[in-house]
């Protein structure tokens, strides 16, 4: 019997050796992205994961695309003032910026052969108004959509909106095939949403081949009317472990690794075949936020004491890898946004913080609850803060919360003291500040600090419909100053988009929605 086992082991070993062969490396025209998340529901009207957005923006087209330019650092970046024709070959904006007329291309087919025309645009815009995660934005904005002729369409807005082209140049406004959606899912909106969650028929440069929770395969649409690079096949692979993403890009099994671990930055930078890209984040700032309606944060001196107690440099170094990858934030807006003003300039000053706590009447110390959303390096930040606050007589009780509980408490206005980040999906500073500081956003839509200042509301309302870019910037600057006076938020760092890319991948343009437009990219 023992010899039987010995034989089995020898036989198995031979079998394994026979099967092991040189593992084929990736072909030049195939691009593999190792993502830290999964695609999941790919309905463009939902946009739950960035993985799904990568799929949408490449399978569907929008009416207009985003233009690019060279940044002063030498890499390609979005030119936020210009747009390129996509399904619309030209467009006209009325003087009051509330009517947009689009002349559509006449030579476009969907991937299944259906002809594209104005009916598809009307169907999509009407669906956007009815339902979906960002539907409210379009619902409140779009008044009516009129078909002038099969290839001309007019969109009338309820108010002037200079950002409309930007809003419709990303995944939320991907143009759907009316005929296919109606054929496959009927007229019931719930069924349509379910069908769109795992199916996609677009006019875009890539065709969806397969979709699973850990991988998405797309192939080039050779009949695409627009520009198409040399990448024939795209694989989006979910690789949850950052260490696996690192070794796979080093071995050349993947071309792009999103969100590398902070511990791997150095090694990736030293690798001659890989470039570690550090690009502007999608308007995202990481901040501490205090609920102004809760004790003791209703006391301004306590908020100020905490602003002095935060060890900004230590937090950025330990939790985000240092200033190079996470520059310190001086506002709720990131420095590249229009209207940015570096208003928040508190420095680490424990003595001053201690004095303020005493002055506020808490000489014997006080206890504060910190509601910790356990994600990424947030727990590290909370621990550092806990240590620092102890030195000024504040006992920080950290209460860990799972994401569902955290968001529920946030929406109910019950969070006390948190670390969080916020972003706007088209990097619109007005939208971002409205979410975080307008009284109408208390508490469901992001103003969890519960800042309610009439002047802030007025300035934001005015900025939303202000067409003059200088005046708009002035309004935003005043909002930032007013918010800074409240000290409801303590901005920590500007979150950058960091990814590792093999050097044989060329022509990557970093757009503010942080989505890859694979048809613009090439592989050597």
Partner 1 sequence: MNFRRYIFKRLIFLIFVLIGASLLSFFIVRVVPGDPARMMLPPQASPEDVDRMRIELGLDKPYYIQYFNYINNILHGDLGFSHHTGRPVLEEFKRKLPASLELSILSLLLAAILGIWLGVISAINKNKFIDHFARVFSIGGISAPGFWIGLLAIYFFYYKLGWLPAPSGRLDILTENVNQITVTNIYLLDAIITGNWYLFKNAFLHLLLPVTVLSYSFLAMICRLTRGGMLEVLDNDYINFFRTNGVSKNRVIWIYALRNAIRPVLTMMGMFFARLLGGVVFIETVFNWPGIGRYAVDSIKFLDYPPIQGFIIFMSLGYVLVNLIVDLLYMVLDPRVEY
Residues in contact with partner 1 by CB under 8 A are: 1-2, 5, 8, 16, 19-21, 23-24, 26-27, 30, 32, 38, 40-43, 46-48, 131-136, 190, 194, 197-198, 209-210, 212-215, 217, 233, 235, 237-241, 243-244, 247-248, 250-251, 253-254, 402-405, 407-409, 411, 422, 424-425, 435, 444-446
Indicate the residue among 23 and 364 with the shorter CB distance to partner 1.
Answer: 23
Buried b (16+ CB within 10 A) or exposed e, 378-398: bbebbebbbebbeebbbebeb
- Nearer residue to partner 1 within complex by CB, 211 or 499: 211
In this structure, the strands spanning 285-290 and 274-279 are unpaired
CB nearer to partner 1: give 143 or 251.
251
**Strands of 186-273, DSSP E:** 206-211, 215-220, 233-238, 256-258
User: What are the backbone angles phi and psi of residue 504, rounded to the nearest 5°?
Assistant: -85, 0
Query: Which is nearer to partner 1, 253 or 383 (by Cβ)?
Result: 253
153 - beta bridge partners?
A: 102, 147
* Beta carbons within 8 Å of 190's beta carbon, 6+ residues apart: none
Contacts of 285 (CB under 8 A, 6+ apart): 329, 331, 332, 333, 334, 421, 422, 491, 492, 493, 494, 495
Contact indicator for 175, 111 with CB cutoff of 8 Å: no
- Report the distance separating Cα 94 and Cα 39, nearest Å: 38
> Measured from the CB atom, is 131 or 354 closer to partner 1?
131
Strands 394-401 and 366-373: parallel
Shortest Å, Cβ 20 to partner 1:
5
Q: Which is nearer to partner 1, 189 or 467 (CB)?
A: 189
Nearer to partner 1, 291 or 425 (CB): 425
CB of 183 to partner 1, least distance (A): 19
Question: Least Å distance between CB 35 and partner 1?
Answer: 11
Closest by Cα among 473, 31, 365, 420 to 218: 31
Q: What is the nearest approach in angstroms of partner 1 to the Cβ of residue 49?
A: 8
Classify burial at 370, counting beta carbons within 10 Å of its beta carbon; exposed 0-12, middle 13-18, buried 19 or more: buried
Instruction: Write down the least CB distance from residue 430 to partner 1, Å.
Output: 13
**Residue number with CB closer to partner 1 (256 or 356):** 256
State the minimum distance, in angstroms, from the CB of residue 314 to partner 1: 28
Question: Structure tokens of 215?
Answer: 């991988």
CA distance 339 to 346: 21
Q: How far is the CB of 247 from partner 1 (least distance, A)?
A: 4
Report, in Å, the least distance between residue 350 CB and partner 1: 33
């Amino acid at each position: 019997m023992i010899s039987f086992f010995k034989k089995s082991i020898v036989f198995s070993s031979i079998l394994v050796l026979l099967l092991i062969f040189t593992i084929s490396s990736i072909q030049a025209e195939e691009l593999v992205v190792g993502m830290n998340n999964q695609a999941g529901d790919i309905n463009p009207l939902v946009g739950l994961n960035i993985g799904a957005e990568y799929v949408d923006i490449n399978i569907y087209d929008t009416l207009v695309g985003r233009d690019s330019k060279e940044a002063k650092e030498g890499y390609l970046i979005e030119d936020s003032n210009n747009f390129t024709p996509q399904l619309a070959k030209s467009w006209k904006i009325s003087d009051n910026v509330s009517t947009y007329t689009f002349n559509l291309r006449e030579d476009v087919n969907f991937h299944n052969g259906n002809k594209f025309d104005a009916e598809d645009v009307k169907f999509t815009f009407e669906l956007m108004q009815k339902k979906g995660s960002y539907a409210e934005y379009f619902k409140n904005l779009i008044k009516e959509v009129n078909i002038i002729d099969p290839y001309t369409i007019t969109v009338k807005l309820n108010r002037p909106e200079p950002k409309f082209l930007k809003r419709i140049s990303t995944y939320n406004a991907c143009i759907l095939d009316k005929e296919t959606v109606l054929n496959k899912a009927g007229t019931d909106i719930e069924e349509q949403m379910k069908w769109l969650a795992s199916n996609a028929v677009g006019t875009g440069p890539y065709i969806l081949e397969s979709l699973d929770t850990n991988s998405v395969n797309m192939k080039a649409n050779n009949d695409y009317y627009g520009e198409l690079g040399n990448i024939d096949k795209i694989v989006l692979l979910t690789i949850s472990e950052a260490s696996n993403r690192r070794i796979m890009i080093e071995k050349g099994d993947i071309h792009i690794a999103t969100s590398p671990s902070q511990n791997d930055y150095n090694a990736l930078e030293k690798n001659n075949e890989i470039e570690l890209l550090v690009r502007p984040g999608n308007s995202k700032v990481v901040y501490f936020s205090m609920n102004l309606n809760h004790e003791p944060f209703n006391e301004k001196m306590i908020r100020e004491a905490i602003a002095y107690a935060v060890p900004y440099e230590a937090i950025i170094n330990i939790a985000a890898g240092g200033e190079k990858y996470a520059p310190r934030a001086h506002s709720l807006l990131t420095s590249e946004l229009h209207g940015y003003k570096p208003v928040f300039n508190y420095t680490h000053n424990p003595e001053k913080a201690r004095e303020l706590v005493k002055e506020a009447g808490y000489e014997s110390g006080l206890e504060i609850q910190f509601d910790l959303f356990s994600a990424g390096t947030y727990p590290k930040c909370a621990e550092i803060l806990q240590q620092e606050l102890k030195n000024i007589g504040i006992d920080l009780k950290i209460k860990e919360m799972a994401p569902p509980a955290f968001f529920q408490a946030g929406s109910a206005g019950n969070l006390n003291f948190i670390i969080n980040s916020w972003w706007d999906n088209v990097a619109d500073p007005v939208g971002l500040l409205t979410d975080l500081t307008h009284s109408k956003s208390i508490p469901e839509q992001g103003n969890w600090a519960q800042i309610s200042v009439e002047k802030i509301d007025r300035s934001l309302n005015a900025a939303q419909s202000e067409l003059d870019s200088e005046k708009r910037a002035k309004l935003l600057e005043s909002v930032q100053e007013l918010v800074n006076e409240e000290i409801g938020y303590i901005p920590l760092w500007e979150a950058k988009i960091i990814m590792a890319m093999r050097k044989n991948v060329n022509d990557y343009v970093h757009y503010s929605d942080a989505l890859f437009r694979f048809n613009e990219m090439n592989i050597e």
